[in-house]
Amino acid sequence: DTGVSQNPRHKITKRGQNVTFRCDPISEHNRLYWYRQTLGQGPEFLTYFQNEAQLEKSRLLSDRFSAERPKGSFSTLEIQRTEQGDSAMYLCASSAPPWIATNEKLFFGSGTQLSVL
């Protein structure tokens, strides 16, 4: 179990630029989640995938955000035309299918800290 891996760990960008983050889930985990967390707040749900299918996307998410999981393994989260309000920790999590795990435990990565200047 190598854990959920996220890259980069930190990203500093200028307002208006596009950024892309990558998440490698634990192998054999079929569900992958993206959350956003700001200081002092709980993780805010953004979207989740089951295999390569994006099953739900938060209505709070603007069209500037897009996520993909093309082969059902790693995932990318892209933010276009970044704004200062996008500054946050972006967390990825994965969970195992029911034939492997008895619960729906989310395993989180260490996150990507985005700072938009």
Residues of this chain that interact with other proteins (CB under 8 A) are 31, 33, 35, 40-45, 48, 50, 55-56, 59, 91, 93, 95, 103-111
At 29, list the tokens: 């985990």
How near is the Cβ of 108 to other proteins at its closest, in Å?
Answer: 4
Is 72 or 80 the residue whose CB approaches other proteins more closely? 72
- Minimum separation from the CB atom of position 19 to other proteins (A): 20
Nearer residue to other proteins within complex by CB, 74 or 108? 108
Task: Note whether 109 and 3 are within 8 A (CB).
Answer: yes
Distance CA 69, CA 75 (A): 4
Find the shortest distance in angstroms from Cβ 110 to other proteins.
Answer: 6
